[in-house]
Every structure is written in C-alpha cells, then in structure tokens.
Amino acid sequence: MMKLASQVLITSNIEAAIAELEAVKTTERFVKIVKEDTFLVEDAKLAVEKAYMASEETTVIILAAKLFSPIAQNKLLKVIEEPPAKKEFILLTSSKATILSTIRSRLPVATFLATAKEEDFGLEVRQLSLGTAYEFVQTHQRTNAKEMKRVVEYIGKTAMHSGVYDIDEKTLTLFSNAFIALDMGSPPVFVLNVLLLKLLARKKH
C-alpha cells in the first residue's frame, strides 16, 4: 500500500507510481513537478517556493524525473531536512543511485514495481568496450532524439545496477548532460558516442 509520507520512490514507471499515489489520496493537496528527463535547479527552486506556501490541509509535493541533477538535490536538502508544517515530499526517480546519499539518509527509500516489461536495446552495458560501443553507435546512426532519450535512460539504469562503474556525481552529470544535449538539438548519434566513451572511462579497473 502506498503511503503519502516523505520518501524516495524508485520506479521504472513514474506515471503508474503517481497514479497509485493519487489512488490513496483522501484530503491531501497534491503539488506535482514532473520532468520528462532531468530535474534541474529551477525545478528545485519552484518546489521550495511551493513548500513555503501556507495551507490548511497536508500538501504532498511530488517531484519526479528520471534523473535529479546533484545541484538541484542540494537545493532541496534544507527543505527536506526541515520541512514546513504539513508538507510531505515524495521524490520519484528510476534509480536509487541517482539520489545523493545526503538525501537518502534523510528519507526512507521504497521501490514501486510496475509490471511494465524492461526494454533491452541490445547493448551489454556490463561488458562495454570500445568495440561494442562502436558497433552500437553504428546501429543508431538514424535514431531520433526522442528514441535516443530512451536509449540513454536504459544505459544509465543498467550502468548503475551493474556495479562495474564508478557511480558518483561526475557519472550522474554525464547522463543529465546527455538529456540536456538531446533537448538542445545536438545530433543524437554524437550524444550517444560521447556518452559511451565517457562511461567507458568510468569503468572500474
């Protein structure tokens, strides 16, 4: 059963998780800031503003994105540590590794499993090498930006769960930068190439 209390919710299906949260709503007010890709500093500022708005009923502030930029998380830290009265924060994201330990130490982490089938884009992220990266890039010469975002998300999730990469702020920034570059109109195949080469450099030896 979903609880409308401050927490980090890990899910591969953000829409389904929000629908579940709404299903258990009684008198609470919901404020939602949902980003398709990366939760940025301006989103965090908006969340903080919403938190300080007075309300009679409990307000559940839902912040959702595939990735939360480290700077945005630091911006949220104080309001999560000392939330104003009657405010609950629920962060939804696709991987626990994207959430900084400072936030994880203050909020319980739960997992919401939607029954959606995980996609497999035919890349063994654990076994990534220059050769496999090159082949994978060749197969995505004509992939558009929207589809490439799904590929980047898949690589990010798989890399974080694999245990073979150094997952730190630098690595998380790689993925948020890839999403930003795709939004700004950079050629998708170029973004993929840069991401894979930089990811390879983060592989543990």
Q: What is the DSSP string of 110-176?
A: EEE---PPPP--S--STT--HHHHHHHHHHTTT--HHHHHHHHHHHHHHHHHHS-B--SHHHHHHHH
Identify whether 124 is part of a domain. Answer: no
Q: Look at residue 1 in the predicted model and tell me its pLDDT.
A: 66
- State how far the Cα of 63 lies from the Cα of 108, in Å rounded to an integer: 15
89 and 156 share one domain: no
Nearest CA to 173 out of 74, 71, 104, 78 is that of: 71
Tens of pLDDT, residues 86-110: 999 999 998 888 899 999 999 999 9
Share of the chain above pLDDT 70, in %: 96
Cα torsion through 128, 130, 132, 135, rounded to 10 = 150
Identify whether 118 is part of a domain. Answer: no
Q: How far is CA 134 from the centre of its chain?
A: 26
Identify whether 135 is part of a domain. Answer: yes
Count of structural domains, the chain: 2
14 and 87 share one domain: yes
Identify whether 86 is part of a domain. Answer: yes
Q: Are 179 and 149 in contact (CB under 8 A)?
A: yes
Please give the residue range of the domain that contains residue 25: 7-112
Identify whether 125 is part of a domain. Answer: no
DSSP 118: P
Tens of pLDDT, residues 161-175: 888 998 888 888 999
20 and 106 share one domain: yes
> What is the pTM (predicted TM-score) of this model?
0.61
Output the domain CATH number for residue 46: 3.40.50.300
For the chain, the first-to-last Cα distance in angstroms comes to 42
11 and 90 share one domain: yes
- State how far the Cα of 104 lies from the Cα of 58, in Å rounded to an integer: 23
Q: Are 177 and 152 in contact (CB under 8 A)?
A: no
Contacts by 140-147, CB closer than 8 A, 24 or more apart: 140/188, 140/189, 140/192, 141/189, 143/188, 143/189, 143/192, 144/188, 145/182, 145/183, 145/185, 145/188, 147/188
Q: Look at residue 184 in the predicted model and tell me its pLDDT.
A: 93
138 and 102 share one domain: no
